[in-house]
Structure 1
Amino acid sequence: MEQQSISISKAGIVTSLQARCSVIAAANPIGGRYDSSKTFSQNVELTDPIVSRFDILCVIKDVVDPITDEMLAQFVVDSHCKSQPKGANLTDRSATNSQDGVQASIGKTECEIIPQELLKKYITYAKLNVFPRLHDADLNKLAQVYAELRIESSHGQGVPIAVRHIESMIRMSEAHARIHLRQHVIQEDVDMAIRVLLESFISTQKFGVQKALQKDALQFEEIMSGSTAKFSYVDVKIAELQSKALDHGISDLEAFFSSSEFSGANFELDEAKGVIRHRLTH
């Protein structure tokens, strides 16, 4: 729960109880299929105040993928074979083949499956003994991400970004640190929370907006994570700036391009490529 507590006022009893749990909800889209030309709220008919109370929104679409479809079909067949009673040799042989197939698929993933009992003990230990906290620098970074997403959400028609999303990123950062048994939140934890929120925000947008946001998100993550060694500059199309300027009644940008403020802020005009290049300082 968001506040880790729930208030009760009924039959003369007024109290507050602990509610340290997570809430997972699922909603089927209208018509049985998610329509990417509509917003998330229009697909599930939920109001923005209710949607904003969830930290993460995951849009699961039925995308046709031969590889994924074959893996799913194989899993269903294997599950069916293993559920058959032991009797005929044909059934036993099928079960053996299915087990071999499952082991082969597990081997391809190159990951070790943790026993369920060990996983339960691990989670219990983390909940009782690990209480990570963020540093002030991390909070400033999350605040900057929130401000940028607020600007982006005002242009799109997806789920609006609210103050609750700052708390969502804080909770996700602390949870990621806790699952790694860290008492302090590090850069990796904060970057993970930012990445999850970005993916959640983009997935709720219309299809046309998603493509543009996905390109911006990759560059945005690199800049926010501080790993700008690969990128010494950022390019902005002149046409995009001119379009934004026209919205504010500005049609001539030549004076701005030739001003000392433009060059003093590490901006360069490349008319041949039609972009404005901003040199990143390290």
Structure 2
Amino acid sequence: MNLFLQMFPAALIMATPIVIAALGGLFSERSGVINIALEGIMLVGAFATATATILLSDTFGNFTPWIGVLVGAIVGCAYSAIHAFVSINLKADQTISGVALNMLSTGIAIYLCQLIFDGQRTPNFPTNIAKISVPILKDIPILGPMFFNNTYPTFFIAVALVLITYFLMYKTRFGLRLRSCGEFPQASASMGINVAKMRYIGVLTSGFLGGLAGGIMVLTTNIQFSASVIHGVGFIALGCLVFGKWHPLGCLFTGVFFGFSEIISSYSGNIPGLSGLPTEFFYSIPYVLTIIALILFAKRSVGPKAAGKIYDAGQR
């Protein structure tokens, strides 16, 4: 039990960027645009966050990490605009566009890092997001140490985003219109809905959340930025989206599950029966579980019917 209580806060740290990035994928795919570029968007957002945190530390002091995260989210949004334009206006294949952005992001990050910091890594961050302990709540038996003691506030931001996304998707006219564009865009257009506009909103929101996830990840799990800082978390977030059946609450619970798979290597030596296995085995677990989840749930989890399909206003 003590081992589980130690692992849970660490799992929440890793789950936070996964959940937020999965929510980004949800907005995009619910609008009808597949966003495989989440990995690249997270990387670009992480670099922008790291750069802003280093360059602005003297100006904003302890608030710098939050300014940096906001900058990362905005840059992620701007980067996703490329995917939106190519997929919606130019009607290009959405999968190819996403893969291209993933490849481009690595080159951009390394080039700019070399240009600004004269190396492929940034200097160590002068300040990171600080952990917090919530008064009174931290003293609750079992739940207190798991959720409210010495933890990053970013997890509570992720939970808040899940609830906001649920409300927007299922309790507002905007959410109904967005989901209709991902299911029957021609029918949506016949009702006066601007499908292209809704899809732009979906993709740009996806980019904002993806950049936010990258920024949070680099400031809570690292002391400096490098091109390998995201290491496949964007793709894990896509698996989380499928596993969670394109639902905000599903993304939250599966994100925590994948968060556990990410940190199990750090505690493998204390788990009976696993201490003798090589470390590389545990590092592969998140990606193996992602593949298994896709195999088991891809057919059962039915996503938006028009996701990935080019919208043709003349098609019926």
Q: Same fold (TM over 0.5)?
A: no
Rg bigger for which structure?
A: 1
TM-score, L = length of structure 1: 0.29
TM-score, L = length of structure 2: 0.26
Higher strand share: 1
